[in-house]
């Protein structure tokens, strides 16, 4: 396929490289001055999108997605697909889907899970929303960039799945960190707590696969001074999106709201900016009950 790729940052760059390595003709654009293996760089997003069978975007937020869509949709050929892999608000995903449909284009919102390592290794998970036809066009590319793609429903369903998943992730990480901090204060070794919880009803991904306690369980960012695998800043972004969606849908999500507020405090008023989201553990270690 001829692919336009807009947004060649830490995630988009390696994703575009994997597509090029698989033999696709990839033309990319980014606001920053970048060099991406196998990717021909365009001067504008419009140039990258012109004549493409599929245009993939990986952008910071919904406002930027809408602005890029305004530019590239008129330049795209009828029947082409616009595939947005950003994590944005559901409303923006649905608005761009409507805009693309009115122009005779296919649209898929397909946010990802797996982080920078997954982007580089081609092991991402895609949560996709859009028509069956649109998903079928994008699916061979998901197979190259990732290990799994789930068609979650119509436009916006991919974003809904992503923010629901990450709301669970944020809440669970906080609970895991709180439990380790409590174990410390009760004189229970972290290793013994891990041995019990990882095979008991407290089992979770944050405990078993991404343990926030250094030297306990498999390798994780906690073993690298909490340098980000998934940054606390990005968790805060996703939790804010979850609460924006909850307000729009009139959904009661008190734990999600509390997780958002705790990560906001951690990132904006403490030392969480630039740290992994599991660095909540040293935060709790330093705190007393009041």
- What is the rounded distance in angstroms from the CA atom of residue 235 to the CA atom of residue 228? 11
CATH 1.10.1040.10 fits 160-286, yes or no: yes
Residue 290 confidence (pLDDT):
75
For the chain, where do the domains classified as CATH 3.40.50.720 start and end? Answer: 2-154
Asked if 57 and 65 touch (Cβ cutoff 8 Å), the reply is yes
**CA triplet 133, 5, 88: central angle to 5 degrees?**
70
pLDDT tens digits, one per residue of 10-61: 999 999 999 999 999 999 999 999 999 999 999 999 999 999 999 999 999 9
Where in the chain do CATH 1.10.1040.10 domains reside? 160-286
Q: What is d(CA 212, CA 23) in angstroms, rounded to the nearest whole number?
A: 39
From 283, 44, 3, select the one nearest 145 (Cα to Cα).
3
CA 269 from centroid of its chain's CA atoms: 24
- For 155-206, what is each residue's pLDDT tens digit? 999 999 999 999 999 999 999 999 999 999 999 999 999 999 999 999 999 9
* Prediction pTM value: 0.91
Dihedral sign for Cα 241, 243, 247, 250, please. Answer: positive
- Token look-up 């998903």 returns 135
Please give the pLDDT value at position 30. Answer: 96
Q: What is the pLDDT of residue 115?
A: 86
> What residues act catalytically?
162
What pLDDT score does 116 carry? 87
Mean pLDDT across 142-160 = 97
Cβ(107)–Cβ(100) below 8 Å: yes
pLDDT digits (tens, 9 = 90+) for 132-141: 999 999 999 9
How confident is the model over 75-128, as pLDDT tens digits? 999 999 999 999 999 999 999 999 999 999 999 999 999 888 899 999 999 999
* CATH fold for domain 2-154: Rossmann fold (3.40.50)
pLDDT average, residue stretch 235-239: 97
């Amino acid at each position: 396929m001829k692919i336009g790729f807009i947004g060649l940052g830490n995630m988009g760059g390696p994703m575009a490289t994997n597509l090029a390595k698989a033999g696709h003709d990839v033309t990319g654009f980014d606001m920053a001055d970048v060099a991406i293996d196998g990717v021909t760089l365009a001067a504008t997003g419009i140039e990258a999108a012109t004549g493409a069978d599929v245009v993939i975007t990986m952008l910071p937020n919904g406002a930027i997605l809408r602005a890029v869509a305004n530019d590239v949709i008129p330049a795209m050929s009828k029947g082409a697909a616009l595939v947005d892999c950003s994590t944005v608000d559901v409303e923006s995903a649905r608005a761009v889907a409507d805009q693309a449909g009115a122009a005779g284009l296919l649209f898929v919102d397909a946010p990802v899970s797996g982080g920078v390592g997954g982007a580089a290794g081609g092991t991402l998970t895609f949560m996709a929303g859009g028509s069956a036809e649109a998903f079928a066009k994008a699916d061979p590319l998901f197979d190259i960039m990732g290990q799994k793609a789930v068609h979650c429903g119509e436009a916006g369903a991919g974003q809904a799945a992503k923010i629901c998943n990450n709301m669970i992730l944020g809440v669970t990480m906080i609970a895991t960190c709180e439990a380790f901090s409590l174990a410390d204060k009760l004189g229970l070794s972290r290793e013994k707590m891990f041995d019990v919880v990882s095979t008991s009803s407290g089992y979770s991904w944050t405990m078993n696969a991404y343990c926030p306690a250094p030297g306990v369980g498999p390798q994780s960012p906690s073993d690298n001074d909490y340098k980000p695998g998934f940054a606390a800043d990005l968790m805060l972004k996703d939790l804010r999106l979850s609460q924006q969606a909850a307000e729009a849908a009139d959904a009661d999500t008190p734990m999600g709201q509390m997780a958002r507020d705790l990560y906001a405090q951690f990132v904006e008023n403490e030392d969480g900016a630039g740290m992994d989201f599991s660095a909540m553990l040293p935060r709790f270690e330093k705190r007393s009950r009041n």
